[in-house]
Structure 1
Amino acid sequence: MTVFATVMLTGCIQLPFGGPKGTPVPVVEQKSEVTIPALSGAGEGAVSSIDISVAPNTEGALAVEVSENEVGGAGRTLQASAWNSAIVATLFTGADLATDYRFAFDGYVDGPSAGGIMTAATMSLLLGDELLPGVAMTGTITPTGTIGPVGGVPTKISALAENGEYTKVLIPLGLRNAPDQDGALVDVVKLGAENGIEVVEVGDIAEAYSQLTGESLPSPSSVTIPRVSEPGYSSTEAATNRQITEFERNESDFLTLSEEIRSFASGGYESAAVDAATARDLLAQGLVGGALMKAIGANMLMKALSGTYRTADDVLTRGLDSLLIRLESADQASDVFFNFLDQLDRYEVETIADAEALITAYGNAFDAYSLYRYAEAEIAAIYENADSYASTEEVLMDALSPLIYLEVSIAQVEASESVFEIARDADGPALAPEADVEAIAEFFRKAADSNLEVFNADVIAMIAEDAGVSDAVALDAMGANDLNIALANNATGLVHGIQAYLGEENPNSAYAAMGYGWTNYARNSNLIEKYGTNGILDWTTFTVVGVTSDARLVHTLDFSRGQVAQAIDVLAGNGYASVLGVGSFESASLAREGDLEEKFTAIQDYTGTFALSRVLAYLGGFAQAEYAE
């Protein structure tokens, strides 16, 4: 059961759906600057300032500068937050990717609590809006565009009152009753009123922007449910039926195993069977996109279980040699991956549909390769510890995890091939002649890495401090419970190696980086959301057992869902109907109604969709269209 739970956390297969939240604008041509308040909750609290400026980058790339007037004045967490603010502001406005962002801090500062106001202020420069006087804000910015919680809110409000220049302060949704320095809950709305300050809770960047500027951002107020239309319906229906047929064949193979062996995989088998039944039900309802997602997941897991536990059956009946033969042939997963890369290498991108197909294929294949590398490391550890095993059964128990990772890795590449075949047949507008493919790839790679830096510098550091352990110990402990953490840190080194394999002159190398970018932007964003923004961690197991705010969780799901529905509509308005987009929307709509883990999965899917949609918008040349409300 432990192995199965870990496998389910690998994400299995991701199907992106495209479209920006609104029609974006280019960055301003001239240099622009703004000064915003920064609130500290340490000690008696303090109000300092941050100077932000944006200007065109003459090198044709995104650049973020963190300026400090004291040696070591800006901490690692604050620097990561500055990068995140610049990236979220760029993604949400569609600003020119070749832009310099500069954040100048005063004194010794650290922490992510100014992320929300830094993002809104940066967006105001990009959009040409003025910040209203007398309005302050505290709250982090998440890659989903929502506002995350912070500490020291009562102290910050008292500092604003002492300062005397502010009449309104924005705080994160769910923090009306916030703890003071002694841990006692304080109604900060009442506290603010007593000091002549209006306290307003905001849940996302659109709400914050409206309060800070008096202007509105495109934010979906209602959701139009997207549906797959012809000819995508027929091809998706056929692909779903093929996946279900393959599932049934793999299920039959699994059921020929001994009852004892099957009992070890009963949890995984039951989950795969439920997903297959759901796929059939959705297919009958005409929800072919969601049906495809469920069918792929069920088939992939069933194939992995069948292959893994057949090996286990052979080991128990024939001896350890059967296991050694399988472990020594582990590199076949690598061969499957690189054969797929070679197949993609022959594909030429001409349209938005081509781009989505190729980027999706690379992204999902990279995930499969990361999983293979993780399994490879675990196999190496088994050989290193060979002398410590007392029986064949002990070796087998340690080998089950890497075995199933190998099987999932191979199955995921095969699933990626199926998705690629569906997406490549779609019609779509041609790539924009002015689209800078290399710059787009570099930006989204940096966006993914920025999210990972926020997670490692802020979230892991905070968890380690609370648990009384080092950052490395906390990272290892959490990675053992959530494979996404291990894959996230493993993936950063892979993209450069794979690009080197493809070759610098290979035009598809940039699309490979985009594949890395959107998948890891989504994964790393969800790690922040799950472990930093809203999750309650059990310190004995390092697993999430609840959320700090149900209201914040629901708001994030609702905001993301509306954003995605609008995104699909925007792409359609520009001549591209994303079959994969609708499939992911339907799948995420199911996941958000599930348990806590599934809700976080839905958020990850939404975030990945947003990231890929911005890729497609830049490639299509409509990322800098006139900003429309």
Structure 2
Amino acid sequence: MKFLGVASILLSILFGTATRNCSAHEEGTEPGDALQSVTVNVYPLAYYDPGPGKKPWGGCDKVPITVGGYPHGTIRVGVFESILGGTGQLWRATSWQAALTASQLLDFDPHAMQVAVSVEGKIDGPSAGALFTVGILPAVRGDQLNEEVTMTGTINPDGTIGPVGGIAYKLEGAAQAGKKTVLIPAFTRLQYDAYSKEHIDLVEHGKKQGLTVHQVNDVWEAYELFTGKKLPRHKEITLPMVSSMMSNHLRERTEKWIELQSRAHKAYSSWDEDRHSDYADDFLEGSEDLMKRSLAATSKGSLPRPIGMQ
């Protein structure tokens, strides 16, 4: 993310049909009243690129995130800028993604779908997505966010954290801001710096700045490092299993169908053209496509697995 200054954003999202924690407003209030709000502070890492031949630098500024505070039962998204055109498209998209991902991880809790991210000036880029997501979650769950920790990385819909650039300079900005721990995306320990034209070991570079650098793969890892508590994961979904008898039955039926389709195709092709029809041609074409897919699945073993087989 490249900060060219600072901007003002208000992002609020609410799904009125959510069923979990729908009584988030104060007891005794009406459904249309505003939900209570909670504010936490996060510290996005900035990367300033002054242009070719000039040394970049990093920054780290406080950004308050407020969750809740808007009428229950509405969907609201707003962007408020301190200067005209202060927020770029990537920043807007990242704010949406962070709010939606956090809401999803909390089973679409309506309180989690109202988020205000407040900064100032001019800003763009996706690298605060993971940080914003992690910032929203404890505000909803009531956990304490450690302000000595910060992070850089994009956020993906499944909660994984994606790579970003300029991390070496962002680490320097974090150290100057007094941070102690920085989380970076997994698999990015070595990053090429176009200015120095060398690969930088980010963990070692962080140590030189007095920082502890952790590589994290997803929001669950990051959340624990930020709060000291575990964020519940959804139960893993396993593929349905069938008995050996049923698996063999499906395999036999598939093979018989493929044989029948082949015979029908051969017979139809042997007829005179005046006996063909557009309907039959289209039907046969679709059947051939299905047969090819069936053969491919059979050859790859992509039939239902018998119980006891992995």
| TM-score, normalized by the shorter chain, greater than 0.5 | yes
Residue of structure 2 aligned with 1:31, choices 9, 25, 37: 37
Please tell me whether the aligned partners of residues 242 and 306 of structure 2 are also in contact (alpha carbons under 8 angstroms).
no
What's the counterpart of residue 65 of structure 1?
78
CA shift in 2, pair 1:286/1:151, >3 Å: same
Q: CA deviation at 1:218?
A: 2.0
Equivalence map 1:423-572=2 (5 Å): none
Root-mean-square deviation (CA, aligned residues, Å) is 3.6
Q: Are positions 1:122 and 2:136 aligned together?
A: yes
Alpha-carbon separation, structure 2, partners of 1:170 and 1:148: 12
State the SS of the aligned residue for 1:286: coil
What's the counterpart of residue 447 of structure 1?
none
- Structure with higher Rg: it is 2
CA shift in 2, pair 1:72/1:278, >3 Å: same
- For CA contacts below 8 A with separation 6 or more, give which structure has more relative contact order: 1
Residue of structure 2 aligned with 1:249, choices 243, 260, 267: 260
Equivalence map 1:202-221=2 (5 Å): 202-219=216-233
CA shift in 2, pair 1:91/1:237, >3 Å: farther
CA shift in 2, pair 1:89/1:270, >3 Å: same
Q: CA deviation at 1:139?
A: 0.3
What's the counterpart of residue 189 of structure 1?
203
Instruction: For 1:81, give the aligned amino acid.
Output: T
Alpha-carbon separation, structure 1, partners of 2:132 and 2:70: 20
Alpha-carbon separation, structure 1, partners of 2:159 and 2:37: 25
What's the counterpart of residue 274 of structure 1?
296
Q: Are positions 1:52 and 2:58 aligned together?
A: no
CA shift in 2, pair 1:173/1:253, >3 Å: farther
Residue of structure 1 aligned with 2:105, choices 75, 92, 100: 92
Equivalence map 1:94-243=2 (5 Å): 94-97=107-110, 99-163=113-177, 165-182=178-195, 183-219=197-233, 227-228=240-241
Alpha-carbon separation, structure 1, partners of 2:289 and 2:107: 44
Please tell me whether the aligned partners of residues 206 and 213 of structure 2 are also in contact (alpha carbons under 8 angstroms).
yes
Please tell me whether the aligned partners of residues 192 and 198 of structure 1 are also in contact (alpha carbons under 8 angstroms).
yes
1:509-555 per-residue CA deviation (whole Å, 9 max, x = no partner) reads xxxxxxxxxxxxxxxxxxxxxxxxxxxxxxxxxxxxxxxxxxxxxxx
Alpha-carbon separation, structure 2, partners of 1:244 and 1:56: 61
Q: CA deviation at 1:193?
A: 0.5
Q: CA deviation at 1:188?
A: 0.8
Alpha-carbon separation, structure 2, partners of 1:64 and 1:181: 38
State the SS of the aligned residue for 1:126: helix
Q: Which of the pair is proportionally richer in strand?
A: 2
State the SS of the aligned residue for 2:114: strand
CA shift in 2, pair 1:273/1:63, >3 Å: same
Alpha-carbon separation, structure 2, partners of 1:227 and 1:167: 46
CA shift in 2, pair 1:199/1:282, >3 Å: same
Residue of structure 2 aligned with 1:80, choices 93, 106, 109: 93
Q: CA deviation at 1:65?
A: 3.0
Instruction: For 1:166, give the aligned amino acid.
Output: K
Q: CA deviation at 1:72?
A: 1.3
Q: CA deviation at 1:95?
A: 3.8
Q: CA deviation at 1:25?
A: 6.3
Please tell me whether the aligned partners of residues 50 and 104 of structure 1 are also in contact (alpha carbons under 8 angstroms).
yes
Instruction: For 2:201, give the aligned amino acid.
Output: D
Please tell me whether the aligned partners of residues 254 and 294 of structure 2 are also in contact (alpha carbons under 8 angstroms).
no
Alpha-carbon separation, structure 2, partners of 1:111 and 1:225: 36
Please tell me whether the aligned partners of residues 154 and 179 of structure 1 are also in contact (alpha carbons under 8 angstroms).
no
Equivalence map 1:371-450=2 (5 Å): none
Q: CA deviation at 1:278?
A: 4.2
The two structures have a TM-score, normalised by structure 2, of: 0.69
1:190-244 per-residue CA deviation (whole Å, 9 max, x = no partner) reads 0110110011000001001111111101247x978554479xx97x997777666
Q: CA deviation at 1:47?
A: 1.5
What's the counterpart of residue 599 of structure 1?
none
State the SS of the aligned residue for 1:33: strand
CA shift in 2, pair 1:123/1:237, >3 Å: farther
Alpha-carbon separation, structure 2, partners of 1:50 and 1:243: 59
Alpha-carbon separation, structure 1, partners of 2:115 and 2:290: 48
Please tell me whether the aligned partners of residues 26 and 95 of structure 1 are also in contact (alpha carbons under 8 angstroms).
no
Q: CA deviation at 1:71?
A: 1.8
1:117-163 per-residue CA deviation (whole Å, 9 max, x = no partner) reads 10011011111111112101000000011000000001101111222
What's the counterpart of residue 335 of structure 1?
none
What's the counterpart of residue 12 of structure 2?
none
State the SS of the aligned residue for 2:187: coil
Alpha-carbon separation, structure 2, partners of 1:237 and 1:47: 61
Please tell me whether the aligned partners of residues 51 and 103 of structure 1 are also in contact (alpha carbons under 8 angstroms).
yes
What's the counterpart of residue 402 of structure 1?
none
Instruction: For 1:275, give the aligned amino acid.
Output: A
Give 5+ residue unaligned stretches, structure 1: 1-23, 259-265, 289-585, 590-629
Q: CA deviation at 1:167?
A: 0.6
Q: Which of the pair is proportionally richer in helix?
A: 1
What's the counterpart of residue 4 of structure 2?
none
Alpha-carbon separation, structure 1, partners of 2:266 and 2:227: 62
Instruction: For 2:212, give the aligned amino acid.
Output: E
What's the counterpart of residue 32 of structure 2?
none
Q: CA deviation at 1:170?
A: 0.3
1:399-425 per-residue CA deviation (whole Å, 9 max, x = no partner) reads xxxxxxxxxxxxxxxxxxxxxxxxxxx
CA shift in 2, pair 1:227/1:128, >3 Å: same
Q: CA deviation at 1:176?
A: 0.6
Alpha-carbon separation, structure 1, partners of 2:171 and 2:228: 22
Give 5+ residue unaligned stretches, structure 2: 1-18, 26-35, 49-55, 271-287
Q: CA deviation at 1:97?
A: 3.5
Instruction: For 2:173, give the aligned amino acid.
Output: A
Q: CA deviation at 1:108?
A: 1.0
1:577-622 per-residue CA deviation (whole Å, 9 max, x = no partner) reads xxxxxxxxx9xx9xxxxxxxxxxxxxxxxxxxxxxxxxxxxxxxxx
Instruction: For 1:210, give the aligned amino acid.
Output: E
Alpha-carbon separation, structure 2, partners of 1:119 and 1:208: 10
Please tell me whether the aligned partners of residues 47 and 58 of structure 2 are also in contact (alpha carbons under 8 angstroms).
yes
Figure out how many residues of one structure are paired with residues of the other and give that number: 253
State the SS of the aligned residue for 1:63: coil
Please tell me whether the aligned partners of residues 251 and 303 of structure 2 are also in contact (alpha carbons under 8 angstroms).
no
Please tell me whether the aligned partners of residues 51 and 104 of structure 1 are also in contact (alpha carbons under 8 angstroms).
yes
